[in-house]
Structure 1
Amino acid sequence: MKKAENMENYYKYIYAAYKLGSFTKAAEKLYVTQPTLSMAIKKVEDHLHMPLFYREGKSVTLTPVGKLYIKSIEKMMSIETDLQAEIRDIERLETGTVRIGGTQYINSCILPPVIAQFIQRYPKIDIQLKEQEPSKNLTDLAKGKIDFCCNAGTIDIPDLKKVPLFQDQIYLAVPDAYNQPDWLPWELDLEGPPWSEPKSIPLSDALFQLPIILLAAPSNLQACVRNAYADAHRQPHIVLQAEQQETSLQLACAGIGAAFVGEQMLRHRKPKAMHIYKIDHPSLRRTFYLLTNKKRYLTKAASAFVALWKKTAGETLRQ
């Protein structure tokens, strides 16, 4: 046991020196003397017959062997984190954390009713909600910084498990200034009864010539729209680019141009004085996936949230 405790201390010393770039700073942080820390690291280096650090004055940097050693320490830290998570699950969801990675679209239009139900069922579970780009969500998921996320589009990452959650039609929202009277038969009534499948508006030059407010790259919605235009051998007439769908919709409502907007945004916002049309193209209907990391332990709290989301997805999206 004594040897195990010593090794645990050695790992702490080495990792702190790596993080702080200094034996002196590491010793101060860990409340040990600098000679104690230096001797411990030297013992490990002697055991390996290789140095872990380059000593450069008061600074230290990793050698190639040191980089391998740090990688192994981080693996052990990850295993320890997973172990502690599993142990906490024994407490039957009395404590725990759910870490969700979402986009502005998911967090504002999809998740609120699910989170509300979850909090009502499990009031002692802490929810951490991140709002960031889809690519950052995937990176955080791979690193174990979040438990799951919801992304659209093609996702071919071997370590990620994806489950289809819902489909989202992308509609064209046109302000009064650019609407055409002969388009009326294909207009979607946002205030009417629950949406049935609307008729698709026929493609025309007038439609393609609309000034468009498009989401900036990288964006799944932008890629979908560009694919639809490319298949028609056209280029969108972009007058402005926005970072979020909410922004593009509000700009369209101000009469600056038309905007492509996801179905759930329209259901929740129901913009006034806007004319909504469906364009029949496979790229404008996308699937959102619930993504988890196959190599990471999914806590009981996170599993409970995922199960609730899957169960309520259909009814939530049709409210």
Structure 2
Amino acid sequence: MGFKRNGKGRCGMNLKEQTYVCVLAECGNITKAADRLYISQPALSIYINNLEKSLGTKLFERAGKRFVLTPAGELYVEKARKMLELKKEFDEAMAEIRDNKRGKIRVGVQLRRETWLLPPVLFKFASEYPGIEVVIREGNMWEISQMLERYELDLVLMNSASVRKDMEYQVLFEEELLIAVPQIHPLNEKAVYVEGSRYRNLDLNWLEGENLILQNPNQSIRADVDAALKDAGVHPGKIQVIRNIETAIQMTAEGLGISFNRESYAGNMKYRKKVNYYTMGESPRKTAFVAGYRQGMFVPEYMQRFIELISEQGKEYIFS
């Protein structure tokens, strides 16, 4: 068994040997078999003779013009027919994959993102590509990056700052990094309106000496916050570390300190007490959220559509 290239430049299983023997067994006559196979009678006869020599046994007894299967021939045809049926299934499955009717996408995503981002996307995608399976793997940024590296994922949804050099990516949307301030706090008076912005602006320098509630150093939002504070030359007061961003925001709502949030996260957090969100400084911090995959990986049509749907959902959610 091998592979042959068809007229469209695609490779398919080549079971010529099995096909020739099975057709001859069905016809019982080499002339009829040659006609059905669109080859000459001498060519088919030579092919069968050479095959029998290579196997070291006869597949057919010649009774006049009739070809009758030997015990070895019966065994061969039994197995060959199963192989031909598998080939048929293989060809049909390959056609479905080529036509984007069948496939699988393994997607890695952070827990915080998936709750608002994926359900609408999965619904729309299933209606467009019902034969494509989407497998969701959850984890933090490091975990899903490692799964991609081990070929356990096809696609990771991540912040652009976490993209490695051996990855390619497509930008899905951009979002603001926001300052969260208790509703009753002197800093609210320092915020200024910015024309065309959904948020008022709070200069980071006003955070000098303020108590902050931040995430762990290995979390992407913490890296973004640290970079912003460093660029502004801000030295905060006490820093309390809380891994869960929503808990940090709720602590801010209770007046326990200043925290930070991503724009997309903010719209998905519900708490009986509210916080005020502000952009930071003259140059607001924007983060690109991307779909990353291994460098040089072929992106099927259905995967590209999945990426587009995520982008559409993200933009709609943030800016609605």
- Which residue number in structure 2 is paired with residue 302 of structure 1? 303
* Count of residues in correspondence between the two structures: 231
- TM-superposed CA distance for 1:91, in Å, is 7.1
Cα RMSD for the two superposed structures: 3.4
- Which residue number in structure 1 is paired with residue 37 of structure 2? none
- Which residue number in structure 1 is paired with residue 288 of structure 2? 287
CA–CA distance in structure 1, aligned partners of residues 192 and 162 of structure 2: 37
- Seen in structure 2, the aligned counterparts of structure 1 residues 149 and 179 have a Cα distance that, compared at 3 Å, is farther
SS in 2 for 1:139: helix
- TM-superposed CA distance for 1:156, in Å, is 5.8
**In the alignment, does 2:173 pair up with 1:172?**
no
- Conserved 8 A contact 1:213-1:239: yes
- Conserved 8 A contact 2:181-2:187: no
**In the alignment, does 2:242 pair up with 1:242?**
yes
SS in 2 for 1:237: coil
- TM-superposed CA distance for 1:243, in Å, is 2.0
- Contiguous gaps of at least 5 residues in structure 2: 2-89
- Which residue number in structure 2 is paired with residue 266 of structure 1? 266
- Which residue number in structure 2 is paired with residue 115 of structure 1? 122
- TM-superposed CA distance for 1:260, in Å, is 0.2
CA–CA distance in structure 1, aligned partners of residues 96 and 308 of structure 2: 16
**In the alignment, does 2:136 pair up with 1:136?**
no
CA–CA distance in structure 2, aligned partners of residues 305 and 290 of structure 1: 10
- Which residue number in structure 1 is paired with residue 222 of structure 2? 222
User: Following TM superposition, where does structure 1 have runs of at least 4 consecutive aligned residues deviating by more than 6 angstroms?
Assistant: none
- Seen in structure 2, the aligned counterparts of structure 1 residues 161 and 258 have a Cα distance that, compared at 3 Å, is same
- Contiguous gaps of at least 5 residues in structure 1: 2-82, 188-194
- Conserved 8 A contact 1:168-1:286: yes
- Which residue number in structure 2 is paired with residue 233 of structure 1? 233
- Conserved 8 A contact 1:172-1:260: yes
- Which residue number in structure 1 is paired with residue 316 of structure 2? 315
- Conserved 8 A contact 1:153-1:220: no
- Conserved 8 A contact 1:89-1:300: no
- Which residue number in structure 2 is paired with residue 98 of structure 1? 105
- TM-superposed CA distance for 1:218, in Å, is 1.0
- TM-superposed CA distance for 1:297, in Å, is 4.1
- Conserved 8 A contact 1:170-1:262: yes
- Seen in structure 2, the aligned counterparts of structure 1 residues 230 and 281 have a Cα distance that, compared at 3 Å, is farther
SS in 2 for 1:98: strand
Greater Rg over alpha carbons, structure: 2
| TM-score, scaled relative to structure 2 | 0.61
CA–CA distance in structure 1, aligned partners of residues 149 and 257 of structure 2: 38
- Conserved 8 A contact 1:151-1:288: yes
| Amino acid in the other structure paired with 2:303 | A
- Conserved 8 A contact 2:110-2:139: yes
Out of 138-147 and 177-186, give the one that drifted further.
Answer: 177-186
